[in-house]
Structure 1
Amino acid sequence: MNYHKGNRLKKRTRLYQKRWFQISLLILLIGTAVGASYGISYLKIRQEKAEAFDLSAISKLEIPSRIYDRNGIEIGQIKIEDRRPVRLETVPYHLIQALTAVEDSRFFEHSGVDFIGIARAVILNLKAKRITQGASTITQQLAKQCYPVEFKTRNINTKVIEAFLANRIEKSFTKPQILEHYLNRIYFGSGYFGIESASRGYFGKSATDINVLEAATICGLIKNPSRLSPRNNMELCLKARNHVLNRMHKEKMITQSELSKFLEEPIQLSQVKGEQNSYIQEMVRLQVIEQIGLENAGKGGLKIHTTIDNETQRVAIQSLYRNLTKTENHPEFKHQTYANYQEKEISPGPIALAKKNAPNYLQGAVIMIDNQTGGIVALVGGRNFKHSQYNRALQSKRPTGTAFKPFVYAAAFSENYFPGSRIKDSPIVNRSVAIGGSTGILGEWGSESETVTYKGTITAREALVESKNSATVRIGKKIGRSKVVDLVQRAGVKSAMDEYDKTLLGSSSASLHEICRAFTIFPNGGQTSNNVHVISSIVNPKEETIFE
């Protein structure tokens, strides 16, 4: 007997047949499709932006123009960035190892983006609960270096564009080419751009000659060049170098015994060479622009040959510094000294930090020119170009003083006088020289001794040798002041001369280079040298002489 008659067992509904599931699935599929569509569109837009970059910028470097003395010795640069490009084949293999070990251990395996490295960095950063490791490859870093403006803002958008660009770079350049461009472009701190400048700047040698320790030191700076530079923080630099060595050991590039030995070694830097030729460099820069134009000068890579003699320049600098310091050390010298100003520079007080005063210490200048050509052999425009860019050898004008007297006698010898002519050396009324002077005798005018002595009638030769003021004024007045001024101007002095007889004793102001050039009439038999100049020739990067 069937007790369940009329009752049928209900068929069980499967999950995918349920209405709510179907609706949810449909929403999920639509959301996925929309998300995928948006994702593809997002990536496509970033890829198109990456495709718009001009890859020729990767091969373009700002190369400084180099300045050479008359013997071919490099004495300075005209630069924005201190860079010396080199070929990759000249770089030692252990440098490549140090670089890839610390910056991109899978460089030779990936195609611009290291997804394994990204995953590893994410895991390590999550464990540390902070960002301890990045995942940018060498190629990605090169992209950022070549297009700093475009990648100035760091966010997800620029990271995606950077990844596409890195992939594009990998397709356009070989791995060795990428390494070469990277090593020539990257900043290594202390003003050094590129591996060659860094090697020379830190260790005084070419990148070709650096050892494993030096290579590890340089590659350790890349993460934060300014902070880790051994010139700024030796302790942090040492830690960074040791990190590179440990990475090299982990990558089996050095042995355990080598690692232990290297970790015990200190960092040995070369001595920093001071910028002693900065006044010359600035003068050269201005003359280069004048000769070949701003646009051509700005391209860089020029070889600028000058008339400077490096050894003479060194001696001139030392002589100026030594004599000015000697004057400052005199017991009666009561003004600011160079040493005082330097101390304030190193340890400025709160007032000095708020307002930095211009230096007020004793200054001087030196110039030496070739009598025949007018080429500058040595030039010092001041004691410290960093403190003051004012070139006193060219720009400053001071009363010529005793240095003017030879021109008075030169003008006299051009007339009816000769070295044996007799001149009266006796007191002369002050008003004949001074403006508005009415009393007193000549003595205070140009005298370089505390007492004034007179010798009566003497020869012109004696008067010049002993720098006799009254005798000089007498002979100058007899031939006429205008003839003296005319001779000086024909000798190359363009500065205005005072229209009074005190000019005969050097009261008029002129620049040091004007007087130096004017003096060339004496060894040249009355002929002045050519215009004062410092550049002898300019050669462009194609080894073509564009100025001579």
Structure 2
Amino acid sequence: MSTWRPIRRTPAWLAWMPGWLRTSMKWLLWTGVIGGTLGLMVALFYFSKASRFDLAEVAKMPAHTAIYDRNGKEMGSGGPNSRRLITRADIPNFLVNALRAREDARFFEHSGVDVRGLARAAVENVKRGGMAQGASTLSMQLARNTFEIREKSINRKLLEIALTLRLESRYSKDEILANYLNRIYFGAGCHGIEQAARTYFGKQTSQLNEAESAMLVGIIRGPHIFSPFRNLDAAREQQSQTLARMKAMGLINDADVARVKAMPIKLVPQEQRGAERSYALEAIQKELQTILDDVDIRDGGLTVRSTLDAGWQTRLETDLSESLRNIEQSKGWEYPTHEKHQQGAEPQYLQCAAVTLETKTGAILALVGGRDYLDSRYDRTIGARRDLGSAFSPWVAAAAAERGRLVLPGKPVQTGRQIGPKETIRIAKRCGITGPFLETEDLFRGSAAATPLELATGLATLGNAGQRPKPYLIQSITAPDGKVLYTAAPSTTPAIGKQAAKEAADLLDKESGTRVQAGATGSGRDAWLARLGPKGSTAIWVGFDDPQRIAPAKQLDSVLDDLAQRLGN
């Protein structure tokens, strides 16, 4: 049998190579073919995944944040609902250059993916053994923020790159720039550059000066910790770093840096920052901003489940308004409507504040910060610090009982003398009432000040067997995809003994299962109603913003009794 085969001749262009080199070249060639094939397959796979995303979402207004009460009733919207979209024409050129310098120097040159930056980041990540750097361009950040691609992994980065290339083929650079600034989070509940400009500086994006532009760009990397409202010094430092990068790129010179740094930063005053429709919604928004900062939540379209009971909130507001009108009618006073205020009338009129806490948890069931939110955004539940008068007597009793002394019902001075003012003050502070206090026997007659929120907390402490609850307004925060981002963890602090709390609570008049303490201060300038129900602890204050006598004690007591009966039914 013949085994003859034709002799394969080595091509002339390879004949000069030694055998080992020809073998190496062959392996390199096959490796390149296989690698290229695998690379093409990977690219096709990720472009296929990327094709499932709707690029029209990039230019859409992100969903607003909806706020609900504890029973699922929608109460309003959070700050992101006030977002406004801007276009490239609205963005100052200085802000664009600042953004390039700080976030993406080659934005107008690359095709969405900065290959040089990726290479540098890859080397650094290999050195550190993880995904420490991502070399994300503005386009990549826009893709990530739009489609919520968050986890740090090679899979996420490859999908992000594929999405970015699609995005760059769909939108112009100016559109990408505007959409990026419309979406990113700037702290203080601000989603998008327009809301940030209005919230921080009270102006439109197109009106931002160079100092404000550099500061807003500077806080992008840490919107929570660098928010000017939270830490102006840190925001100024980020502004300086942005200007330094601009100078290093040759976009500005030393004189420009000095000039911009010398510009004053005028933030919107605290009392003008709220844009809600009620005291309760504004309080929720403030707590929401704190949680977003602390938990580092930057998403929009959130669902916020509050602790409020919308039914009780409405009832408290209605009954308070009716009781105050009764006082005004008996005195011949006319309550000035919002329209009259708009016409320039600024008379004094009776104000009020009320808080109801869920006794065992501290969850706020209702919050009324004043008579009319449209006329005054000042939240008196935390700002009206007034003498308690006879409403302080339960804590005189609590201090005496805590030290094993006799509690003499109806005799707070005699009860307090057994332990003295200092010990009474110490116990009151443990229950959440912070004063100031008069360190004489007048303390036992009610010369101790508190806010309505503090009084409600003190009441809840008595009703919760001496455990002081921490008040809170937000139960949970949920992302648009249903993922729970935050859940409140109610907390209590031991304040006084169980028996002392019971004896103090028993001093409150009992009627229909509810304990009530009502009365005015000796000056007649403040009236308080303390109500400790089976589940909730309510503190109500009535008075004038500029203290003055309200009404004779007997007349005021009858109004407070009427209010107590309304709330008890």
Q: Larger radius of gyration, structure 1 or 2? A: 1
